[in-house]
Structure 1
């Protein structure tokens, strides 16, 4: 297979993503999800959720469109017990029918993180074996995925489009344009339970060793990997296959 042949599918995905982004720049989150469904079909679409501090809003909108859309949840082995309990509560509350909890491979953990200290010595490598690789494996059957990134979260997320491509798949960002106030309104209107750690000052929750409390005037993700240059785990900066 020539280099040109390899690049053609990626070029086609990129072109489709640009067209969809242009059409959906002012669309509501529900309209974006409906378009994703229409574009690839439920069997080819997944929503990736951390079941974190703002996740319930996107899951609620998705459930209103189609509660059977597969939801991929990365159970890294380092999550707060509160996050696992919140996942189970939201599944019941929203009537989600296809939530898939994906874990890292035991062989990778044994080989690369036998002492569970990789998060400290090499957080990028820790994220790779606990998040990036499991997500790539989970998304292999799908041709498009939905995630909950918002521009107001700042950092690398400040300029995300509504639709993009990750090199191999369409990637829909239904909440790219929403504000923190709109997220709060969805919680209030739908009477959604907050993540249990919000009351303790966590604006964003990931793995236990790499999440900390943040001040109200900080970016939503200021408490992630605090004190390091790292701002993303890698699932949004790495191709999914």
Structure 2
């Protein structure tokens, strides 16, 4: 164990770089997933079949195929078709598409949970579809989206070790290098578990704070009741 921590201190710059790459991939992947979630989730709520059906097909395809396969397809198959992306871009895109598809279901469920009577009241006030969505539906739906989005964010963080399979030197890759150098498997992976737990705890705290701010702006308590 002492040998491991001596090597850990010596390799601190490499571990720090791996940590940064993991955090960067998580942040960029989450941003991409949010865009995908909105781009597929809102059309999934449309009463028009011509708008809803393509979005539902895309969601089911992305949810029904493995992130592992999607990652490898983007990294190895796209160049064959004439499109080459940097490894980190491939990883962020795969994380965004896969988790964004799950996020689309969160968006669809949250929008559907807004009471229909409020839509009817907005129609009575002469609001068009987009104005109703922007002023009435989305502000309430966002509060409902944040807790499940927080779960998806942590799931996305836990999926980042797959990026080491496409030559990205993330946190998992760096700790695995230390394991190989020291032969101390248990300490290396325990350290890795604790580091991921710390990252997940920070993300969870941030999402809870965001939920509280969103609920307060809407005039609700975070347990779903009136403030």
TM-score, normalised to structure 1, is: 0.28
More helix by share: 2
More strand by share: 1
